[in-house]
Amino acid sequence: DGGITQSPKYLFRKEGQNVTLSCEQNLNHDAMYWYRQDPGQGLRLIYYSQIVNDFQKGDIAEGYSVSREKKESFPLTVTSAQKNPTAFYLCASSAPGLNTEAFFGQGTRLTVV
């Protein structure tokens, strides 16, 4: 089945650590996105990539980094510079076109301990 796989589902990070969230898709989509979800704030865009080896900052990129070495993969690293990383992280992908929907993974819940 085609879809987006995020791992792990739950992740715990100690203060000062970097952690990497995995996102893999087999939908052959060029565009991939990372969103952060906090209660009452909807989804906010962290980074996006329209093509391999290219990515752009979204609205809240500070403290995060990404790579796009393969079409299928778009990992997100939450660095120690992110002061409030506890949140639910969602990866998505889409085909070209403003009228095409985004497909989402099941999310990773990151908690700082």
C-alpha to C-alpha distances, 51 to 6, 29, 33, 105, nearest whole angstrom: 19, 9, 11, 19
Task: Tell which one of 56, 57, 69, 111 touches other proteins (CB under 8 A).
Answer: 56
Task: Tell which one of 34, 47, 48, 74 touches other proteins (CB under 8 A).
Answer: 48
Q: Which residue matches tokens 């070209």?
A: 96
23 binds other proteins (CB under 8 A): no
45 binds other proteins (CB under 8 A): yes
End-to-end CA distance of the chain: 35
Q: Which residue matches tokens 């898709």?
A: 25
Q: How far apart are the C-alpha atoms of 97 and 100, rounded to whole Å?
A: 6
The region of 12-20, 42-50, 68-76, 77-85 touching other proteins under the rule CB under 8 A is 42-50
Structure token pair of residue 68: 């796009």
Task: Tell which one of 2, 41, 84, 113 touches other proteins (CB under 8 A).
Answer: 41
The binding site for other proteins (CB under 8 A) comprises: 4, 6, 9, 31, 33, 40-43, 45, 48, 50, 56, 88, 90, 92, 94, 96-107, 109
